């Protein structure tokens, strides 16, 4: 089973832009994905991606060190599904 680490930036810019919604990920995993990955979810302090010209791309989430910009809860779930399905 694939190990997947999701690091959600909870710095101010990302939090204001929607990271708080993504923090509900653990309770929002669709039934068809449950039990198909070892999922570790963590909140991390500013990833330092929110420089001036990048700020509108917040919130940022790292999924196994891949950066997701303009992250949403649905977008993170889609990314997890892609990883799980590639693995199987």
Tokens (6 digits) for 78: 């889609």
- Contact positions toward ligand FES, by CB under 6 A? 9, 11-14, 46-50, 58, 60
| E strand map for 1-88 | 2-9, 37-44, 61-63, 66-68
Q: Which is nearer to ligand FES, 38 or 45 (CB)?
A: 45
Q: Which is nearer to ligand FES, 39 or 60 (CB)?
A: 60
How far from 18 is each of 33, 36, 69, CA to CA, in Å?
23, 26, 12
In the bound complex, what is the minimum distance in angstroms from residue 24's beta carbon to ligand FES? 17
Q: Are 25 and 73 in contact (CB under 8 A)?
A: yes
In the bound complex, what is the minimum distance in angstroms from residue 64's beta carbon to ligand FES? 18
Q: Which is nearer to ligand FES, 1 or 16 (CB)?
A: 16
Q: Is 37 helix (H, G, I), strand (E, B) or coil?
A: strand
Q: Which residue is nearest to ligand FES (CB)?
A: 11
């Amino acid at each position: 089973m694939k190990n997947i680490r999701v690091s959600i930036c909870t710095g101010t810019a990302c939090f204001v832009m929607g990271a708080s919604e993504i923090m509900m990920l653990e309770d929002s995993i669709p039934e068809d994905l449950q039990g198909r990955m070892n999922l570790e979810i963590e909140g991390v302090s500013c990833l330092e991606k929110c420089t001036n010209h990048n700020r509108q791309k917040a919130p940022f989430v790292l999924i196994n060190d891949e950066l997701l910009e303009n992250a949403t809860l649905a977008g993170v779930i889609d990314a997890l599904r892609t990883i799980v399905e590639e693995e199987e």
